[in-house]
Amino acid sequence: MESHEKYLQNLKQWLHDTSDSPLEEMSDFFTKRLGGYEEHMSIWEKSYQMFSEVLPSHCQNILDLGCGTGLELDKIWEKNPDIEVTGVDLCQSMLDKLLKKHSDKRLTIVCQDYFKYDFGYEKWDAVISFESLHHFLPERKKELYRNAYNGLKRGGVFLLGDYIACCDEEEELLCSAYLNRRNQFAIPDNSFVHFDIPLTLEHERELLQNVGFVIEKVLDNPDGAAIIAAGKGD
C-alpha cells in the first residue's frame, strides 16, 4: 500500500506535470467520456451499494444533485423500485443515458446547474449527491447545502457520497492548483471546469453543520469515497 508521503509526492509531481494542460468545461468533459463512463466508475461499485443502503427505507421522493447516468440510482431503485426521483445534471448526454436505462421508473430529469435549481421548501424526503460536489469551492457548496436543508422535509436526510482529501495538505494543494489554473486559462467566474478539489472529512462535516445539519452517520472512505448522512432534525 502506498504511503501517505508517497501519495503526496506523486500528487505534487502530477500537478507539476499537468500544470499547462487546459481545463475542460464540465459538461463537455462528461460528454466526451460518456462511452466509457460507467465502466470507469465501476471501481466504486461497493460505494454505490453502501450509499443505497444508508438511504432510509421510508424515503418516497428524492432529489439527486449531479445524477449523471444514475449509477447511485441503479442501486437505489434495485432496493425500492417505486421511489420517485428528480435528477438534476448539467450534462444532457448523461441524462439521456439515465432516461434510456430507467424509462420505467418515476423519474424527472432536469438539465440545469444545481446551484440555480429551485429546491422548494420542505419538499424532499432525501437530497442525495454522489461524486459531483468535489468540483466546487466550500463557499459555493455551503450555498447548496443551505438550499438542500431548506428543501428537505423535517426529519429528511442529505446523503453525500464523495471524494475526500486525505489531509489538509492535499486539500490545499488541489485548491491552489485549481485557482491558479482558472487564472492561468482566464476561465470566467460563471464557467464550470472539471478539476477535483475535495475537502477533508472534517471540513465537509463542518460545512454541513454550519447550515444546521446534524451528522448522523459517516462511512469514512470504506472504498475510496466517504459517505455522510446529515439529518435535518424534526
Residues that bind ligand SAM (CB under 6 A): 26-27, 30, 41, 66-69, 71-72, 88-91, 94, 113-115, 130-132, 135, 192
Cβ at position 154, least distance to ligand SAM in Å: 26
Q: Which is nearer to ligand SAM, 12 or 142 (CB)?
A: 142
Q: Which is nearer to ligand SAM, 222 or 233 (CB)?
A: 222
Reading the block at residue 181, the C-alpha cell is 489554473
Q: Which is nearer to ligand SAM, 7 or 192 (CB)?
A: 192
Is the CB of residue 129 less than 8 Å from the CB of residue 144? no
Q: How many Å apart are CA 167 and CA 69, to the nearest integer?
A: 30
Cβ at position 177, least distance to ligand SAM in Å: 18
Q: Which is nearer to ligand SAM, 114 or 145 (CB)?
A: 114
Cβ at position 49, least distance to ligand SAM in Å: 12
Cα dihedral angle (7, 142, 226, 203), rounded to 10 degrees? 50
Measured CA distances, 213 to 5, 40, 155, 201, 216 (Å) = 34, 32, 11, 15, 9
Cβ at position 67, least distance to ligand SAM in Å: 5
Reading the block at residue 15, the C-alpha cell is 500537478
Q: How many Å apart are CA 215 and CA 203, to the nearest integer?
A: 13
Task: Report residue 212 CA to chain centroid gap.
Answer: 19
Angle at 29 (CA atoms; ends 23, 32), nearest 5 degrees? 135
Q: Which is nearer to ligand SAM, 69 or 147 (CB)?
A: 69
Cβ at position 199, least distance to ligand SAM in Å: 16
Cβ at position 195, least distance to ligand SAM in Å: 11
Q: Which is nearer to ligand SAM, 128 or 230 (CB)?
A: 128
Reading the block at residue 30, the C-alpha cell is 462528461
Give all strands of the β-sheet with 84-89 in edge-to-edge order: 107-111, 84-89, 61-65, 124-130, 152-162, 226-231, 214-219
Query: Among all residues, whose Cβ is closest to ligand SAM?
Result: 68
